Structure 1
Amino acid sequence: MMYEEALNYLKTAAGRGSVLGLDRVRELLHLLGDPQEKLKIVHISGTNGKGSFAAMLSSVLRSSGYRTGSFCSPAMTGVTDSYRINGAEISKKRFAELIATIQPIAESMAEKPTEFEVIAAAAYLLFVEEGCDIAVVECGMGGDGDATNLMSAPLLSVITNVALDHCGFLGNTIAEIAGHKAGIIKRGCPVYFGGKDSDALTVISEHTKQLDAPLALYDDSPLSDIKYSLDGISFNWNGERFSVPLCGTYQRDNIVNLMCCVDILRKTGLTISTDSLRRGLAETVWQGRFEVLRRDPYVVFDGAHNPDGIARAAESIEMYFPDKVVLLIGVMADKDYKLYTDMLGRFIEKVYTVTPDNPRALDSAALAEVFAEKGIPAESFEKLPDGVSAAYSHAKEKGLPMMALGSLYMYREFKEAMILITGK
């Protein structure tokens, strides 16, 4: 099977829509030999922070000598970007091989799996075939009904935080959403919760009690002397100095979650020395989270795509860029985007709105109108490259930073547009 044929099969699977329930992916994995049961897995749910946390943890585990597989979604540059072995994205050829194995098995099923179910099953198959010591696996959405949630005994279940998002699927209250996130908890297996919401904690604590699963909570008391720059973050943890090349004030919580979970993993028997931890953090690579792409003028992309993410991005803008920024933004129509103007308005010199390449995307003109109604100069573009070009020219002319916010689905096209504009 060629890569293009694999993509065509995913399009066929995507045509089946998003169907609730785990019966299909459970059957598919069983027909593949239940690869998820042959792995040590750190399973990650949460509203925000999953990707950054997973990137840091994968790097630390790799630095500690463990052959590490990682799976995240959505893919930002192409489907292979979701799969990494020891930090390296798999090849198109390797992905086609996985789908070639899965396709005939999936198509033999009476109820055929959806696109994400195929993608998730491919991750577990890959990690077994590649001889991974540990797999770091991120939920796509929610937890209990997520296609990744089929292992019986994860090494550690992590819920980074709980905030309002995907309300149409997960519920309209923190407690309801927490109930879905808590679905990744397994009997007797350690759990970490990195959030601070009391309603979420109540729900998660009840789940851990019912399943006799030891629960560890967010604890930033060992953290001190944290320093932020557009080159990364440095901090002390129990008196030891560490640094990570990630930006954004919200990374503070992701760092605390990472350090707390390293302590838990050490107690499970993993060997993670202080030197390996320091090296792994320093070598972390993660795209699309307050990522500095250019410096003259500054061009920063942050995949903040829900109210909690936008609020945290606004905090970072205020710290790094105390003057105005030129904003480019594109969002999904199912988000509470009308809240974004109040969160971001005081930082914006002008906003350029675009329509991400996704069926759920909000029309750029409708988004521009929301900003204009609050007195914020706004201009809309149907084609993302045109919006990027206009925003970048404006930023250069005014000597201001350009901030791109919104859906991760526009990350690849945004980077491609920047390369065309700047030639690098």
Structure 2
Amino acid sequence: MNYEQAMEFIYSTSWMGSKLGLYRMEELMRRLGSPQNRIPCIHIAGTNGKGSTAAMLASVYTEAGYKTGLYTSPAISYFGERMQINGRPIPEEAIASLALRMKKAADKMEDKPTEYELITALAYLYFADEKVDIAIIETGLGGLLDATNVLDAPAAIVLTAIGLDHTKELGERLEDIAAQKAGIIKNDAPVIVYEQDEPVLSVIHNKATAQHAPVHLASPAGYSDIRYTIEGTHFTDEKNRTLLLPLLGTHQIHNAAVALTTIDALQARFPVEEQALASGLAKTRWPGRFELLHTDPIVLLDGAHNPQAARALKKNLTTYFPDRKIRFIVGILADKGYNNMAEELLPIASAWITVTPDSDRALPAHVLTRLLEEHGQSVRESSSLREALSFTLKEADPSEILCVFGTLTIIHEVRSFFDK
């Protein structure tokens, strides 16, 4: 099996869509020899901040000398980005050989695995074969029934900010969603939790207590000298370590607190010296999250795709660029609470350009245009992201801020536009 055949095999199950439940994944893992239980894993769930936190942890552990696996989704420009070791994507030849092993196992199953289950199994196989020292595993949807949730004894559980998202699958109430995310908590594994609302924390504490798992609440409350600049977030933590996180956004200080608390909780098992911690944090890269792409005019790219993320985007824009005109280019999905997202950003918008993202779940641009016009906004509908970007760069005032945001699937197209 070559790379093209491997990808055809993986994507051949895309018609099945997302099917929550672990019985297929558990059977597939058994047939493959349970590779997920041969590697120490930090398992991460949450609504927002999963990827940023995972990137910080992977960067620090790599800098500390550990062979570090990182599994995230979605890919930005290349499939292999979803599973990396020390920042290097899985090679095509490895995908081909591992896919053949997966096919032999899957062919023996009556209920065939989904595309996401195959991709997750591929990551676990790759990390186990390469004998990584530690792997950072990000859930896809929820936690309890997510395909990644087949770890018998994770090294640690990380729960980032939890908000309303995927309500059709996870529940309409915040407590229901928190229960799904907390479903990855396992016996005795330390649980590191982003500072959040009491109802969410109560659900997490109850689950952790039932699993005899110690809880560590991560908070930047003890941090000092916090400065937000275009280079990143500068701060001194409660251990008097002077640190720089190059990811922009006021919310990233909270994600950094989660990452640092996780590293401290695992210090006995995975020691990290302070120099490696500072250097690793400073080398963190995570594209498409309040990312600066252009400076004249200023162009920002953000994967804000739900109301909670839109609220964070608004806070970031008003913190970094107070009293500046902000023009938005937006492409979002229909099931992401777009009414509430728009309401968050209406007060700071000078103009909008709407596009329809390339997804079968996309919100048509004309629907969003009509909503914004009903709120008295200046709106232009565009046939493509490329057209929207070309037009706006020609028309934008040098003092204006251009912010492109929405579903994560637009990130590659926007970054490619500016790379060229």
How far is the alpha carbon of 1:219 from its aligned partner? 3.0
- 1:247 counterpart SS class: coil
Aligned amino acid, residue 394 of structure 1: E
Superposed displacement of residue 300, structure 1 = 1.0
Q: Which amino acid letter does the alignment assign opposite residue 160 of structure 2?
A: T
Deviations along 1:361-387, whole A, 9 cap, x unmatched? 111111111111111111112322222
Partner of 1:314: 314
* Distance across 2 between alignment mates of 1:219 and 1:297: 35
Q: Residue 333 of structure 1 aligns to a residue in which SS?
A: coil
Q: Secondary structure at the match of 2:329?
A: strand
Q: CA 1:327/1:221 → structure 2, altered by over 3 Å: closer, same or farther? A: closer
Contact 2:189 2:213 in 1 (8 A): yes
Gaps of 5+ in 2: none
Secondary structure of the corresponding residue to residue 16 of structure 2:
coil
Give a deviation string over 1:173-232, Cα, whole Å, max 9, x none.
111001100100001211111131111111111111111111111232431111111111
Aligned to 1:384: 385
Residue aligned with 1:84, SS? strand
Map Cα deviations across residues 331-377 of structure 1 (whole Å, 9 max, x no partner).
01001101122211222221111111111111111111111111111
> How many positions carry a matched residue from both structures?
418
| Equivalence for 1:410 | 410
Aligned to 1:261: 262
State the match for 2:376 in structure 1. 375
Shift in Å, 1:293: 1.1
Q: CA-to-partner distance for each residue in 1:137-157, whole Å, 9 max, x for gaps? A: 000010000000001110000
Change (3 A) 1:383 1:4: farther
Matched residue, 1:167: 167
Cα deviation, 1:47-74, whole Å, max 9, x if unaligned, reads 1000000000001111111100000011
1:344 is the counterpart of 2:345 = yes
Aligned residue in 2 for 1:285 = 285
TM-score, length-scaled by structure 2: 0.97
For the Cα contact (< 8 Å) 2:165–2:336, is it kept in 1? yes
Residue number in structure 2 paired with 1:46: 46
* Structure-1 residue corresponding to 2:35: 35
How far the C-alpha of 1:239 sits from its partner, in A, is 1.6
Quick check: 269-278 or 103-112, which moved more? Answer: 103-112
Deviation of 1:76 (Å): 1.6
Contact 1:40 1:155 (8 Å CA) reproduced: yes
Q: 2-side partners of 1:353 and 1:3: how far apart?
A: 37
C-alpha separation in 2, matches of 1:103 and 1:293: 40
Q: Is the 8 A contact 2:220 2:253 kept in 1?
A: no
1: CA distance, partners of 2:46 / 2:190: 16
Residue 125 of structure 2 corresponds to 125
Partner of 2:295: 295
State which drifts further: 306-315 or 11-20: 11-20
**Which letter maps to 1:118?**
L
Q: What is the distance in 1 between the residues matched to 2:197 and 2:117?
A: 31
Tell me, in whole angstroms, the C-alpha distance in 1 between the residues paired with 2:374 and 2:142.
34
C-alpha contact (below 8 Å) 2:59/2:281 kept by paired residues = yes
Q: Which amino acid aligns with 1:391?
A: T
Contact residue 223 and residue 256 of structure 1 kept, 8 A: no
Deviation of 1:83 after TM superposition, in Å, equals: 0.9
Q: How far apart, CA to CA, are the structure 1 residues paired with 2:409 and 2:96?
A: 22
Map of 1:358 onto structure 2: 359
**Hey, what's the Cα distance between the residues in 2 that align with 1:195 and 1:109?**
42
Whether the 8 Å contact between 1:162 and 1:195 is mirrored in structure 2 is no
Q: Which amino acid aligns with 2:360?
A: P
SS in 2 for 1:15: helix
Q: Which residue of 1 aligns with 2:65?
A: 65
- What does 1:221-236 align with in structure 2 at a 5 Å threshold? 221-236=221-236
Contact 2:225 2:235 in 1 (8 A): yes
Contact 2:195 2:219 in 1 (8 A): no
Alignment of 1:275 onto 2:275: yes
Out of 8-17 and 154-163, give the one that drifted further: 8-17
CA distance in structure 1 between the partners assigned to 2:190 and 2:410 by the alignment:
36
Equivalent position SS for 1:120: helix
Moved more, 381-390 or 76-85: 381-390
SS of structure 1 residue aligned to 2:380:
strand
Alpha carbon RMSD of aligned pairs, Å?
A: 1.3
Q: Report what 2:87 is aligned to.
A: 87
- What's the CA shift for 1:314? 0.6
Separation in structure 2 between the aligned mates of residue 69 and residue 131 of structure 1, nearest angstrom: 9
SS at match of 1:132: coil
Aligned to 2:140: 140
Q: Decide which moves more: 372-381 or 41-50.
A: 372-381
CA distance in 1, matches of 2:214, 2:241: 27
Shift of 1:398: 5.1
